[in-house]
Structure formats: structure tokens, C-alpha cells
Structure 1
Amino acid sequence: MVSFISHVTIDARDPYALSRWWSDVLDFAEDPDDPNLPEHEECLIQSADRVTKLLFIRVPEEKAVKNRLHLDLRPVADARDLELDRLRALGATEVDDRRTSDGLGWVVLADPEGNEFCILRSLAEVAAGQGPPTC
């Protein structure tokens, strides 16, 4: 027997606001049969195919230390640096720039509540021969 990941849960001071922010980042939507509201303790968003889900749960404390788990995002269409500009415009803040002079690497960002995540190169950039298929 094995298990599968039902969803990824993220602690939040304001689950509604953070779920809306991540919806914009990932083009995710709430469940139309169970819409999120500002007063909800839990807010779920999901990919269009309903396979990938993020659940934001209200907690009383602010984020205090580095995440032990984080999301690595890969742009769907644009190059990493164009997606980086879009994420900054949405309100992401840069934590660490791990890009290298040869075009490889990633950038560590934080969402509006300080949760870290990374933006990697797009698959098109990887396919174009810009280094290994990971970061």
C-alpha cells in the first residue's frame, strides 16, 4: 500500500488573502461548490484539472523561521526572468538570488506572509540546452 499527496497545507495569518495571492501566481481557482470567504479558517485553491491543491489554514502566529518545505515553481510559457518580474509585480519579495552567470540557477522569493518559494527556469529554457533539467 502507498499514499498520495491530497494537498499541500500552508499556515497563514490570513488564509483568504494568501489563497487569492497564490491563485494569481499559479492560475488556480477555488472550488466553485465551496467558495472561499474572508472569514474562513481554511481556504482551498486548485489547478484547473483539480489535481494539485493548496490549503491555507489560519494560525495565530507570524512566520518566524525558514521554511522546512517550499514550492519550486517553473514558468509555463515565459522565461524564468520574465516570470520573476511578474511575481515581483504581484508582491513577491526576493530572499536570495541563486542565478549564475551562465543562465542557470533559481531565485528564492517570499509570498506576502514570508513563505519562501523558488522560481526555476522554464522547460523551454532547459530544452534549449541551458544546463541540467533541475534548477
Structure 2
Amino acid sequence: MTAYISHTTVDAIDAYAQARWWRNVLDWVEDPDDPNLPGHEECLISSRDGRSHLLFIAVPEDKKVKNRIHFDLRPVEGTRDEELARLLERGATEVADLRRPDGTGWVTLADPEGNEFCITRGDAERAAQGR
């Protein structure tokens, strides 16, 4: 027997706000038959192909320590630095800049509730730089 990950769950102070923020960042969707609404304690978003899901669940506690698991995002179009600028405009905050002079590396950001995630180079950018 084996198992698969049905969805990844993220604790949130405001599940609806977090689901909206990540839905916009990832260009994901919600179930039109079960839309996320303000005040909902559980809000689910899904990739457009329906294969990946994020479930945001309201919890009373603030985030207090570094995440033990985080997302690594890769831009679909454009460069890592263009994606970084887009996410900062959407309310992410920069935690650590680990870009290297040779173009490799990543930037660690935090979402509006402080959950860390990273931005790496996109496939086209990696191919252009030969890595």
C-alpha cells in the first residue's frame, strides 16, 4: 500500500485572507460550488489542473517560530527577480536574500502572516544560465 498527499494544510489567523493571498500568488482557484468566504474557518484552493490543494485552517495562535516546512516557488514566466518584485508588491516581506553573483540562489520571503517561502529561478532563466 502507498499513500498520497491529498492537500497541504496551513494554519492561519485568517484562513480566508490567506487563501485569497495564495490563490492570487499561485493563480489557483477555489471550488465554485463551495466558495471561500470571509469568516470561514477552512478555506481550500486548488491548482488549475486540480492535482494540488492548499487548505487554510483558522487557529487562534500566532506563528511563533521558523517553519519546519515551506514552499519553494519557481516563476512560470519571467525571472526570479521579476517574481520577487511582484510578490513584494502583493504584500510579501523579504526575510533573507541568498542570491549569488553567478545568478544562482534564492530569496526567502514571508506571506502576510509570516510563513516563510522561497523564490528560485524559473526554468527559462535556469536554462539561459546553463544551470
Q: TM-score, normalised by structure 2?
A: 0.98
Structure 1 gap segments, 5+ residues each:
none
Cα distance in 1 between the residues matched to 2:84 and 2:130: 18
The residue that corresponds to 2:87 in the other structure is: 87
Q: Percent identity?
A: 65
Tell whether the 8 Å contact from 1:103 to 1:130 is kept in structure 2 after alignment: no
User: Tell me, what secondary structure is at the counterpart of 1:97?
Assistant: strand
**Count of residue pairs brought into register by the alignment:** 131
Q: CA RMSD in A?
A: 0.7
CA deviations on 1:104-129 (whole Å, 9 max, x unpaired) are 00000000000000001000011123
The residue that corresponds to 2:27 in the other structure is: 27
Structure 2 gap segments, 5+ residues each:
none
Tell whether the 8 Å contact from 1:28 to 1:46 is kept in structure 2 after alignment: yes
Kindly report structure 1 stretches of 4+ aligned residues shifted beyond 4 Å.
Answer: none
CA deviations on 1:14-57 (whole Å, 9 max, x unpaired) are 00001000011000111111100111110000111111110000
Q: TM-score, normalised by structure 1?
A: 0.95
Cα distance in 2 between the residues matched to 1:86 and 1:72: 16
User: Tell me, what secondary structure is at the counterpart of 1:98?
Assistant: strand
User: Tell me, what secondary structure is at the counterpart of 2:99?
Assistant: coil
